[in-house]
Structure 1
């Protein structure tokens, strides 16, 4: 049990580091929203599709099981989350998107509380309040119309990913690699007629390839699989590290300025996550 729990923490942490590079690759691609979605989907399908075919034994039965109620809902959640994430990253800064995304553990815990009857610890609540304080500090900047649209779509993305975490845990029989592949196929079909016809430059294709393979593909599957081994709120809380790492990569590569409020708030969020991870466990209490 303890080894499974530790494995869950490690897998989710790895997925967080990979997931945090999404904003960097979207900036590198420098394409319209639907072109990014379409090309990202293509590379994600190629990477995960080949892996699924090789690693899965009874593919027909797995596909049939996935194309039922719980699997179809998970696919729909993936479609909404995948599109809204790219839209958010293109409408506002990576720091703003990550600030909204920081609400993930609280949304995931709320969904898991009602859907699964999960319980949370007092320490989780305290760390969450500390992280919320950091988020409030980070969000203290003027907003434009694009920022507002970006923040709303970031909220949609956050709710979608929280729902995906809970869905993966509620139905452990679901093949999450296949769910990701199918949701990505559907997302690509939606984006295809809406994308620009001009061919991307090689470096833009590389950025989309990295985005599709590392974030939409590997990171998404790792977070959902690892999330099954720990509580939904804990998985989401670990993913809060993305709030700090996402803007950091963009700042290092493109010098996207991060003000002092973002630095202070991000440090508080990082401190809250670190404190939660290093303190010994405690008995869960009803939220």
Structure 2
């Protein structure tokens, strides 16, 4: 019975992680169709994202906003990193090509591997370092002869998001009791607080407000919750592999729904990046499983 419960938990984790990737991959569509200023988008999105996370956390987990344990320094640092990351990523999608931003964000697992090596002294598979070389080549192809300076800025903002996420993972790995959902909710509210002083006026376009509300609910409320809950039920390597899927899905949705076709070099370079990341994670996971099996047999 216990084996069946573990299988069910793993499958539910995979479904939740896939749901997270799909939810988060809609960010390119939302940033394109919402015509409000960036500050207004961040304000409304943050409020509704926080509300959605609060509801789900209340219904499905034991994390409580009123619990003092939710406000330890690791939790607040995670909230700060999430805030910087989510503001950077939305700004990146707003000013640059969707494919470029999505692909750079897909490098997160490589950044995580570097951070785990540097800060926690955790040895990483050689395949991940080879994967990193392939990622660098793919990004170079995407940037080659691109004269649009806004794309460079957008890709730097996406890279900042990757650094923030890597920092969050290192903290969560070292402080396992960190209430991630509460920290995510705080981050949503912080992004609204940061955006508020830059707003010229309170948005009064109900259609745009509703779209921003849906933006926050889908990408933050559903995407963040699915990610946090799902990642707890499956091995880290498998979670990372599924999470990377949002990178190719983001420009695909924008292409199919909005007709925003990526450039040929973005398609080539982006494909190299995504393939290298997925292969790196897959081989690293296989090597880790083989190592664990050897240790079990030696016992």
Aligning the two structures, in what range does the TM-score lie when normalised by the shorter sequence? Answer: 0.7 to 0.9
- TM-aligned CA distance change 1:270 to 1:111, over 3 Å: closer
Matched, 1:246 2:250: yes
CA RMSD, 1 decimal: 3.0
Inter-partner Cα distance in structure 1 for 2:214 and 2:132: 32
Aligned counterpart, 2:47: 42
- TM-aligned CA distance change 1:68 to 1:138, over 3 Å: same
- The Cα shift of 1:99 comes to 2.8
- Residues 56 and 225, structure 2, Cα contact 8 Å, conserved in 1: no
- TM-aligned CA distance change 1:263 to 1:145, over 3 Å: closer
2:106 to 102, 107, 112: 102
Q: Please, which runs of 5 or more residues in structure 1 have no aligned partner?
A: none
- The Cα shift of 1:277 comes to 7.3
1:15 to 5, 9, 20: 20
- TM-aligned CA distance change 1:77 to 1:48, over 3 Å: same
Inter-partner Cα distance in structure 1 for 2:81 and 2:219: 16
Once the two structures are superposed, residues 60-103 of structure 1 have per-residue CA deviations (whole angstroms, 9 ceiling, x without a partner) of 7x631121111111111111112111111112111221232132
Matches within 5 A, 1:68-87: 68-87=72-91
- Residues 109 and 277, structure 2, Cα contact 8 Å, conserved in 1: no
TM score, norm. by length of structure 2: 0.81
- With 141-150 and 88-97 compared, the bigger mean Cα shift is at 141-150
- The Cα shift of 1:281 comes to 1.8
Aligned counterpart, 2:170: 166
- Residues 251 and 258, structure 1, Cα contact 8 Å, conserved in 2: yes
Inter-partner Cα distance in structure 2 for 1:237 and 1:58: 27
Inter-partner Cα distance in structure 2 for 1:145 and 1:131: 21
2:38 to 19, 33, 39: 33
Matched, 1:191 2:162: no
Once the two structures are superposed, residues 183-227 of structure 1 have per-residue CA deviations (whole angstroms, 9 ceiling, x without a partner) of 111111121221232535343223212221121222123334444
Matches within 5 A, 1:263-278: 263-272=267-276, 275=279
Aligned counterpart, 2:294: none
Inter-partner Cα distance in structure 2 for 1:182 and 1:259: 37
- TM-aligned CA distance change 1:167 to 1:204, over 3 Å: same
- Residues 181 and 225, structure 2, Cα contact 8 Å, conserved in 1: yes
1:178 to 167, 176, 182: 182
Inter-partner Cα distance in structure 1 for 2:264 and 2:258: 18
- The Cα shift of 1:131 comes to 4.4
Once the two structures are superposed, residues 108-128 of structure 1 have per-residue CA deviations (whole angstroms, 9 ceiling, x without a partner) of 111122333333334444444
Once the two structures are superposed, residues 237-271 of structure 1 have per-residue CA deviations (whole angstroms, 9 ceiling, x without a partner) of 54332321111111122222312222233333444
Aligned counterpart, 1:59: 64
- Residues 29 and 203, structure 1, Cα contact 8 Å, conserved in 2: no
Inter-partner Cα distance in structure 2 for 1:6 and 1:278: 18
The count of corresponding residues between Structure 1 and Structure 2 is 283
Report which of the two structures shows the higher radius of gyration computed on alpha carbons.
2
TM score, norm. by length of structure 1: 0.84
